[in-house]
Chains A and B, each alone.
Chain A
């Protein structure tokens, strides 16, 4: 489950950071901070020329024994960092992606608000609500994961899949 969600501005200061077990916040803040280095590394690794084709979802930044940290960068270099509990092994990559997508959408909505000055802390209640739902849902979600498998490809599957797929 997402135990911590952070939105980092382009200049690497936090716009929004929130963690679920609120007593251990400092640890998560620290993890997010250290993960920024990894994010930068991944961004630079893509190369300047490919910045447009760079995938926004960065994937697993670094795992610890308890947590995994995922990263996501927008085209405006705003970074979303999510710390996920490692015990939630069943959290699929797709789910993480969808969570980041929702984050990005909500962030966009916040940006759309003319009263929001870019660079301010994000104080939107809608954004908070979305993050809360994500943190809680992630906790619930791991039990009810649906495995959508594009994985194994076999002729039968292709045949059937092709037929179904239209």
Chain B
């Protein structure tokens, strides 16, 4: 450094300042702490301060040695006088007034931090912190003095009583300041007119010597320089405390240079927590936090793991319990890691806590992490408004969705809303079947169909969602395109079934048993072709071997042998419309719906009928009808009623009716014709074979046939008897259907449970 000539006053002043700043008495001052407060209090633009620091060499050294400090102070004076900052200006500018360090904020608030700093176990007074509320008061210019002192004194006296104040209130003055005042009067109102330059703040930690020196200095400077804008000595303690606040901003500028030591971090933390609305983070603070974040995690978009954050915040010497609470507040997504926003919020809370503010029960809105791009936070200067978390997402309750992936899937909460990324907030899935289904369907719907490898989910949803396997097969049909994409992936359930369907279809012609179609699907999921649930799709039944059919036959005693024949013939016919419709559902659902077969068969036949208008269909229908016979008889009256056109079963029954008529089994001849017409129209209306609706249609029709029966009572005794028979048959059929469907339900539930367990196993458990 160039030789620095200082006048006596300057010398004293500077040494006083230095000793003030040199907290640790190491003859060098790290580039933070008091120095920054000091520079901040100098009311110089930040860039000027940076320049000063650079010029004096502190940046090089990383700390302020005494000479650097002196040079810096000189430069401050230079800058304050309006001279350009030059190294040579140190000595060239003559008659430079002492650098002025002003606090433009309310003194009381500055007192607060300092008081708390003294209160806290941290050594050294801590500076800065809460910037006074905007209106709070410029530093009293000349007028002040006693007036300000007294109220302050009273305030100070009150302070010790209630040191902890809610954020809304101005920070209470500290007993420290109170002490200052005591010192003050002793030191002298005489020294008051200090004005200008002197280190107004009394070095609390170092206290006495500094203050006395300061007093001396002050007295030496009793004629206030003209440019002084604050006040009297009386004001100084407060202003000095205020000064400490200001360094915070300076400090933020210099945070980059800050040596990341524990004490340093503490001081910085303390100094940089200036916020207006108590929880609002200023730009400087934010910048500081960001820089601190960078020291731990260079990637601003990345996370700070919990352990690193724990170490970092433990340095603040807050009790673990409070740190724990701060963590709970700030870890917004409860993932055990801190994003930049979360980190800033946590840091801010730590600072606030250190300054005596009570921790809130809920995260303040201004601290809520916003879901916007984190790069915005880097441009502190450019986006002060944005940095203020005005756009924070809706407040989330303290109980956030569990972000642990393993638990998320299995331990959802009802009121949890799925968040943006699936990674952070997987969509919760409930255990209960209905909910799981809903949510899985939601997962499916949220576009994870094609991209989400959790095709099992997709498939599972389809399986789970329906009580009816038919429905699932419908799903497969609709999701076929998706399944095709999965064919090579882990969509084991969907693919196999589709494959099975195809295979089944192909094999149906060859009459292989449905069990043969089972092997392709890897998962243990019982294939729709399993004969366990005896309900078989008519198509599949037809296409299936007699063994399978026997199972179906068992379920349906009235089933008649002629089935195998029609199975072959209607097979292709049946499949044709299926293919035409693009639905593979029939085959996949075949095995389980034996009782529905007749109706399904009828239905498919009807479709075929409608599609191709082949007479043989009618024969097929007729052939199938023997199976349906019991149902048909009951449904005949219904069909004859022609009342319910929307009931497929009615159509089927109508179809069966003609068959019956053709076979001459039913006494009622006329009904078939109108029914047929209806069938055609309805078949045309219904291009798709929705087996689910089929089933419902079956049920509905069967049920519908019931009420219609009484009408026929009055008509014909034979009709009555026939209807009675039909009703009985219908009842048995329905009972069988019921049992079979319940069986299916159990199977499906079991599958679901097993899959859930598998999911649980597959997801890593990160907790104990």
A binds B: yes
- Stretch with Cβ within 8 A of B (4 or more), from A41-49, A59-67, A110-118: A110-118
B225-255 vs A, CB cutoff 8 Å, 1 = contact: the mask equals: 0000000000000000000000000000000
Q: How far is the CA of A153 from the CA of B402 in the complex (A)?
A: 34
A102 to chain B, nearest CB (A): 6
Partner of B467, one of A75, A114, A125, A165: A165
Q: Which residues of B contact A112 (CB under 8 A)?
A: 306, 331, 334-336, 403-404
Task: Please determine whether A125 and B768 come into contact, CB atoms closer than 8 angstroms.
Answer: no
How near does chain A come to B328, taking the closest CB pair, in angstroms? 5
- By the criterion CB–CB under 8 Å, are B434 and A150 in contact? yes
Contact B699 A108 (CB under 8 A): no
Inter-chain contact B767/A108, CB cutoff 8 Å: yes
Whether the pair A75, B328 counts as a contact (CB closer than 8 A) is no
A113 engages B767 (CB within 8 Å):
no
Q: Distance (Å) between the CB of B246 and the closest chain A CB?
A: 32
Grouping DSSP codes into helix (H, G, I), strand (E, B) and loop, the A interface class, with mixed when no group exceeds half, is helix
Residues of A within 8 A of B699 (CB): 155-156, 158-159
B361, B441, B696, B760: the one within 8 Å of A52 (CB): B760
Assembled-state Cα–Cα distance A151/B738 (Å)? 14
In the complex, are the beta carbons of A163 and B467 less than 8 A apart? no
CB pair B741 A76 closer than 8 Å: no
Contact segment of A17-25, A26-34, A93-101: A93-101
Contact B692 A162 (CB under 8 A): yes
The answer to the question of B421 belonging to the interface, with a C-beta cut-off of 8 Å to chain A, is no
Asked if A144 CB lies within 8 Å of chain B CBs, one says no
Q: Is B413 within 8 A of A102, CB to CB?
A: yes
Among B321, B402, B734, contact of A105 (Cβ-Cβ < 8 Å)? B402
Contact A115:B696 (CB < 8 A) given known A108-B411, A109-B402, A158-B468: no
Chain B proximity of A158: nearest CB distance (Å): 5
Shortest distance from the beta carbon of A141 to any chain B beta carbon, whole Å: 13
Complex CA–CA separation, A120 to B162 (angstroms) = 32
List of B residues within 8 angstroms of A165 by Cβ: 434, 437, 465-467, 471
Encode B429-446 as 1/0 by CB contact (under 8 A) with A. 001111001000100000
Q: Please tell me the number of chain B residues within 8 Å of chain A, measured between CB atoms.
A: 60
Judged by a CB distance under 8 angstroms, whether B695 is at the interface is yes
Q: Is B291 an interface residue (CB 8 A)?
A: no
- Cβ–Cβ contact B692 & A114, under 8 A: no
In the complex, whether A38 has a CB less than 8 A from a CB of chain B is no
Is B414 on the interface with A (CB-CB < 8 A)?
yes
* Residue contact A162 to B471, C-beta cutoff 8 Å: yes
- Chain B minimum-CB-distance residue to A100: B411
For residue B327, CB closer than 8 A to chain A, the reply is: yes
Decide if A126 is an interface residue (CB 8 Å cutoff): yes
Given contacts A97-B431, A162-B692, A162-B695, contact A115 B467 (CB under 8 A): no
A158 to B466 CA separation, bound complex (whole angstroms): 9
Tell me if A162 and B696 are in contact (CB < 8 A).
Answer: yes
Within 8 A of B (CB), among A104-142: 104-106, 108-116, 118, 123-126, 129-130
B331→A113 contact, CB < 8 A? yes
Q: For residues 463 through 515 of chain B, which have their beta carbon under 8 Å from a beta carbon of chain A? A: 465-468, 471
Binary flags per residue of A72-88, CB closer than 8 Å to B gives 1, else 0: 00011010000000000
Whole-angstrom CA separation of A154 from B739 in the bound complex: 10
* Complex CA–CA separation, A20 to B441 (angstroms): 39
Q: Does A89 contact B (CB under 8 A)?
A: no
Q: B761 at the A/B interface (Cβ < 8 Å)?
A: yes
Nearest-Cβ distance from residue A163 to partner chain B, whole angstroms: 6
**Docked complex: B302-336 residues within 8 A CB-CB of A:** 306-307, 309-310, 313, 320-321, 323-325, 327-328, 331, 334-336
- Given A75-B765, A124-B328, A159-B696, check contact A115 B323 (CB 8 Å): yes
Rounded to whole angstroms, the CA-CA distance of A153 and B138 in the bound complex is 77
The answer, among B325, B400, B761, B765, for a CB contact under 8 Å with A109, is B400
Q: Which of A10, A115, A158, A162 contacts B327 (CB 8 A)?
A: A115
Across the two chains, which residue of chain B brings its CB closest to A112?
B336
Let me know if A147 is at the binding interface, CB within 8 A. Answer: no
Bound complex: CA A101 to CA B314 (Å): 32
Chain A residues within an 8 Å CB radius of B433: 150
* Chain A residues with CB below 8 A from B398, complex form: 125-126, 129-130
Determine the residue in chain A with the shortest Cβ distance to B428: A105
Assess whether B693 is interfacial by the CB under 8 Å rule. Answer: yes
CB neighbours of A150 from chain B (8 A) = 432-434
| Residue B166 is within 8 A (CB to CB) of chain A in the complex | no
Main secondary structure of the interface of B (DSSP, over half): helix
* Contact flag A115-B310 (CB < 8 Å), given A108-B402, A123-B324: yes
Interface residues of B in 272-325 (CB under 8 A from A): 306-307, 309-310, 313, 320-321, 323-325
Looking at B323, B433, B437, B768, the one whose CB has the most chain A CB atoms below 10 A away is B768
Report the Cα distance A161→B767, complex, angstroms. Answer: 38
> Which residue in A104, A113, A125, A162 is a CB contact (below 8 Å) of B411?
A104
**Are A161 and B399 in contact (CB-based, < 8 A)?**
no
Instruction: Answer whether residue B745 sits at the interface, using C-beta atoms and an 8 A cutoff.
Output: yes
- When chains A and B are docked, how far (Å) is the Cα of A156 from the Cα of B701? 11
CB distance A113 to B324 under 8 Å?
yes
CB distance from B296 to the nearest CB of A (A): 13
* Interface bits B402-419 vs A (CB < 8 Å: 1, else 0): 111001000111100000
Shortest Cβ distance from residue A51 to the other chain B in the assembled complex, whole angstroms: 11
Given A52-B757, A105-B402, A159-B699, are A113 and B693 neighbors across the interface (CB < 8 Å)?
Answer: no
Judge whether A109 and B467 touch: CB under 8 Å: no
B305 to chain A, nearest CB (A): 8
Determine the distance from Cα of A153 to Cα of B361 in the docked complex, in whole angstroms. Answer: 47
Please give, as numbers and ranges, the residues of chain A lying within 8 Å of B378 by CB-CB distance: none
In the bound complex, residues from chain A placing their C-beta under 8 Å from that of B413 are 101-102, 105
Q: Which residues of B contact A106 (CB under 8 A)?
A: 399
A159 to B471, CA, bound (A): 11
Are A159 and B695 neighbours in the complex by a CB distance under 8 Å?
yes
B44 contacts partner chain A, Cβ-Cβ < 8 Å: no
Shortest A53–chain B CB gap in Å is: 5
What residues of chain A lie closer than 8 Å to B695, measured between beta carbons? Answer: 159, 162
Do B432 and A94 touch (CB < 8 A)?
yes
B327 with A161: CB separation less than 8 A: no
Residues of B within 8 A of A114 (CB): 306-307, 309-310, 327, 336
B79 within 8 A of A: no
Chain A residues with CB below 8 A from B692, complex form: 162-163
B323–chain A nearest beta-carbon distance, Å: 5
The reply to whether A155 and B738 contact each other, CB–CB distance below 8 Å, is yes
Whether A105 contacts B325 by the Cβ 8 Å rule is no
Q: Which residues of A contact B327 (CB under 8 A)?
A: 113-115
Residue of A nearest to B734 (CB): A155
Q: Considering the chains assembled together, what is the distance between the CA atoms of A53 and B759 in angstroms?
A: 11
- In whole angstroms, how far apart are the Cα atoms of A69 and B326 in the complex? 34
Alpha-carbon distance between A162 and B324 when the two chains are bound, in angstroms: 48
Given contacts A105-B401, A125-B328, A163-B693, 7 further A-B contacts (CB under 8 A): A52-B760, A75-B765, A101-B431, A102-B413, A115-B327, A150-B433, A160-B696
Would you mind naming 23 contact pairs between A and B with Cβ atoms under 8 Å apart? Answer: A53-B757, A78-B768, A101-B412, A102-B413, A105-B407, A105-B413, A108-B411, A109-B399, A112-B331, A114-B310, A114-B327, A115-B310, A115-B313, A130-B398, A148-B434, A155-B738, A158-B467, A158-B699, A158-B741, A159-B699, A159-B700, A162-B695, A165-B465
User: Contact residues of A with B, CB < 8 Å?
Assistant: 10, 52-53, 75-76, 78, 94, 97-98, 101-102, 104-106, 108-116, 118, 123-126, 129-130, 148, 150, 153-156, 158-163, 165-166
For the complex of A and B, list the 6 residue pairs with the smallest distance between their C-beta atoms, beginning with the closest. A114-B306, A115-B324, A159-B696, A76-B768, A114-B310, A112-B336
Binding site for A on B (CB under 8 A): 306-307, 309-310, 313, 320-321, 323-325, 327-328, 331, 334-336, 361, 398-404, 407, 411-414, 431-434, 437, 441, 465-468, 471, 692-693, 695-696, 699-700, 703, 734, 737-738, 741-742, 745, 754, 757, 760-761, 765, 767-768
